[in-house]
Amino acid sequence: MNLQVVTPELSQWIVEQAQAGCRPEDVLASMRSSGWAEAVAISALERTLQQFLDRPAAAASANGPARLPEPALLGSPSCVQAGDRLVTVLLTMRHPRVVVFAGLLSDEECDALAADAAPRLSRSETVVVETGGNEVNSSRTSQGMFFGLGETALCARIEARIAALLNWPLVNGEGLQVLRYLSGAEYKPHHDYFDPAQPGMSAVLARGGQRVATLVIYLNTPELGGGTVFPDVGLEVAPVKGNAVFFSYDRPHASTRTLHGGAPVLAGEKWVATKWLREREFI
């Protein structure tokens, strides 16, 4: 007879391990080392996770509104209505949460956004974790600029489309950032969330909380190279004009597997617009 009982505390711990990206075999090993018989531990693990997945929708949303931006992909549709535009779904991945879209912007919108950005481009910077300021860094050799939220009619139209696509309030987004990579330029692998343990982060986090998702929109198709890579899972997204790659991260931690980079551009140029989504209104 099985005398080992799955307490509510143990259930919660199992779910938390799974949500943090721990592999089931590692969770199992921890249970084994605290005295659980293997067969009993496996069935407890399976039952707990299944119960969690089967929980009523009301329980899933009991904590209020959705915690993360997420397109409406229930039933695996091949396209989704994003406000004023129908967008094609090319690829989805669960962990890391990645979705690749085709046709988010028209060719004309891509050209117009790049043209509006071009006069304001300067060498891209990265955040200095110690101070929260910015600096030029050899890991990021693109040129870039930020639009203010709703700065132009085109920005406002794209922002409304993104808000509809990702079911996330428009005001919880940073202004669009446009990047131009010349041949040879790259953005080495990094995470887009802010490390809350770093001293300079409180000022950054005060403006709308943590980043919770990223949408990189390709404004042209480079001749060669320039894919967006996810080294943790060996995924490379080809940059194609008007397409976009979305990824979300429910905590500022590498267990989200959202390490990503812009591979070197090998021929031609690469232009992207990046949209970062925050937890709260970005001020």
Binding site for Zn ion (CB under 5 A): 192
Q: Which stretch binds ligand PD2 (CB under 6 A): 18-26, 148-156, 159-167, 258-266?
A: 258-266
| Residues 191-210 interacting with ligand PD2 (rule: CB under 6 A) | 192
Residues 158/174, Cβ–Cβ less than 8 Å: no
Q: Rule CB under 6 A: choose which of 262, 265, 277, 282 binds ligand PD2.
A: 262
Angle of CA points 107, 218, 193, to nearest 5°: 145
Residues 237/245, Cβ–Cβ less than 8 Å: yes
Q: Which is nearer to ligand PD2, 31 or 176 (CB)?
A: 176
Residues 123/143, Cβ–Cβ less than 8 Å: yes
With CB under 5 to 8 Å by kind, the binding choice for 220 among ligand PD2, Zn ion, none is: none
Is 124 a binder of ligand PD2 (CB under 6 A)? no
**CA dist., res. 247 & res. 95, Å (int):** 10
Is 272 a binder of ligand PD2 (CB under 6 A)? yes
Q: Which stretch binds ligand PD2 (CB under 6 A): 34-42, 51-59, 199-207, 260-268?
A: 260-268
**CA dist., res. 125 & res. 118, Å (int):** 17
Q: Which is nearer to ligand PD2, 41 or 245 (CB)?
A: 245
Is 228 a binder of ligand PD2 (CB under 6 A)? yes
The count of other CB atoms within 10 Å of the CB of residue 267 is 11
With CB under 5 to 8 Å by kind, the binding choice for 228 among Zn ion, ligand PD2, none is: ligand PD2
**CA dist., res. 265 & res. 127, Å (int):** 23
* DSSP-assigned beta bridge partners for residue 244: 101, 217
Residues 234/94, Cβ–Cβ less than 8 Å: no
Q: Which stretch binds ligand PD2 (CB under 6 A): 25-33, 36-44, 51-59, 256-264?
A: 256-264
Contact positions vs ligand PD2 (CB under 6 A): 179, 187, 192, 214, 216, 228, 260-262, 272, 274
